[in-house]
Amino acid sequence: MTHWPHIINQRFRIITAERKRYTMWPKGYPKRPFWRLYWNAGPGGEWTSGSKTYQGSRKKLVLIPPNLLVRRRLIKPHEHCYIHFSLGFPLDLYRGGVLEITAPQNIDQTMQCIAHESHSLRWQFVASTLINQVLAHLPQRNLSGLQLDSRIEALLIFMQLNTGRLITNDELAQQAHLSEPAMIRLFTQHLSRSPQAFFSDLRLDHASEMLRFRSDLTLEEIAEKTGFYDRSHFCKRFTLRYGITAAAYRKAP
């Protein structure tokens, strides 16, 4: 069994986890820039990706990779638990589909701990163990494409650490110890996108997290903290990225 969080060390991060009873879900469901692990204490909800629908139940776990658009539908009120987490690069570049696996026998106790022991050492251990168990089921064919040149991986980490400002291609080239044309060529070869296009989306992903967890910040302040010129420019780019306005994203469960 592969123990991903131990491989990636400090880049593994649990963003949020909760267990509660739901009586309604919105029809639209924006994509998220992190991994989402779902479990239902009983039937009542379902997720649709492409042409396939996944039914929630006590016996199943549903894993949704980053930036995959999934629609959800509430069939009847039910108790629902979720864990949102990031694995860092290159694993957050995973582009496989939804994964549905059999839940471990102790899943109810595990979810009770995750929901009620809020960030204790035991909470972290239990959540990490469950995530390890789920990630071990990821198809190897989808993981093989995540091997990156060490210079590109270093650039991705550098970008993650600097989402609050603009970074020029010249600065990126210096970080990679390459000429600017060579850096752009190598980056595009590995990620099929230019460095600036990728970095723009990365800053928007950072903004999406602020929208969900920093209710004290205005849209203007979030735009400034993620290196966008003003609120108008930020909101336009955000809608293009997520297919939903920043204001609506903030309100979406």
Q: Collapsing DSSP states into helix, strand and coil, what is residue 227?
A: coil
Q: Collapsing DSSP states into helix, strand and coil, what is residue 191?
A: helix
Instruction: Please say whether the structural domain 148-251 has been given the CATH code 3.30.450.40.
Output: no
- Closest listed residue to residue 128, CA positions, set 253, 216, 3: 3
Look at the domain 4-144 and name its fold. Jelly Rolls (2.60.120)
C-alpha–C-alpha distance, residues 31 and 111, integer Å: 24
The predicted pLDDT at position 80 comes to 86
**∠ at Cα 245 (239, 251), nearest 5°?**
145
Q: Whose structure tokens read 């629908």?
A: 53
CB 49 within 8 A of CB 99: no
The predicted pLDDT at position 3 comes to 39
Query: Looking at this protein, which amino acid is placed at residue 101?
Result: I
DSSP calls for 80-130: EEEEEEE--TTGGG-----EEEEPPTTHHHHHHHHHHSTT-HHHHHHHHHH
- What pLDDT digit, counting tens, does each position of 23-47 carry? 877 665 668 889 999 998 888 888 8
Q: How far is CA 171 from CA 62, 95, 163, 225, in A?
A: 40, 28, 14, 20
CB 27 within 8 A of CB 65: no
The predicted pLDDT at position 112 comes to 84
The predicted pLDDT at position 8 comes to 43
Domain residue ranges of the chain, discontinuous segments joined by +: 4-144, 148-251
Query: Looking at this protein, which amino acid is placed at residue 113?
Result: C
**Which segments of the chain have a pLDDT < 70?**
1-11, 26-30, 118-119, 253
pTM of the model: 0.84
- What pLDDT digit, counting tens, does each position of 141-189 carry? 888 777 888 999 899 989 989 999 999 999 999 999 999 999 999 999 9
